[in-house]
Amino acid sequence: MEPPSALHLECPNCGRAPHRVLRGRLSQGEELVLEGVFRCLRCGHTRRDTHREWAPVQVPLVVSDGDTSRKVEVDLFPGEEVRVGDSLEAKGRLVRITAIEVGERRVQAAPVETITTLWSQRADRVTVKFSLNRGRRTIPYELRAPSDEEFQIGDQVRLGRERAVIRRINTHRGTLRDGVVPARDIVRVYCQAVRRPRSHR
């Protein structure tokens, strides 16, 4: 195993600080053990030392992305606690934990070493639900959007072939008739179709 190039360690000279790993040997059992020579990047103190930390464990993670789900594994460290609502990086994507299984039970929080499966939703992109009012008809639409994309009351959006004006937005905290909301907080967007101008011949 290749040792890391840098670590955050306790320096005997100036306290906890980033250290450069000048050379070292890394081995893994229940613990990760790094024997090496470290240089403090704050004060320059160099020493030979052994650094130990818990080896990561692989926890099954179900990632929901719209209507699809896939099962992957994520490396987490024993002793840490995972809570519903936490964000994790999995396979280069940000996900938000929606449920935690410990054996047969679902819990709000649990230590990593007790977790059977984590359930999550992709958090870097979300599905935004729209209701488009067109005369007497209300038509449902869905758009995929970055989780931090903002939707503003009064803005126009394109839904399929339709253009529509946002009239109100339902969020997890209530209904807005003015202001801006990021996509991740939206429950549903209500829009009014924009009438197309008649062509004159």
Percent of the chain with pLDDT over 90: 48
Do 50 and 61 sit in the same domain of this protein? no
User: CA-CA distance, 4 to 32, in Å (whole number)?
Assistant: 11
Q: Does residue 198 lie within any of the structural domains?
A: no
Give the model's pLDDT for residue 87.
84
Q: Nearest-CA neighbor of 165 among 135, 199, 189?
A: 189
82, 102, 122 — which closes off a domain? 122
Q: Verify that 12 and 62 share a domain, yes or no.
A: no
Task: Give the pTM.
Answer: 0.53
pLDDT digits (tens, 9 = 90+) for 179-201: 999 998 899 999 999 876 555 55
User: 65 is in which domain, residue-wise?
Assistant: 57-122
CA separation for the pair 36, 96 (Å, rounded):
37
Strand 162-171 vs strand 156-159: parallel, antiparallel, or unpaired?
antiparallel
Q: 69 and 27: one domain?
A: no
Q: What CATH code is carried by the domain that includes residue 42?
A: 2.20.25
Q: What is the DSSP letter of 151?
A: E
How many Cα atoms are found within 13 Å in the side-chain-facing hemisphere of 9? 27
Give domain status of residue 1, yes or no: no
Question: Does the residue 200 lie in any domain?
Answer: no
The total number of structural domains in the chain stands at 3
- Which of 103, 122, 141 terminates a domain? The answer is 122
pLDDT score of 196: 63
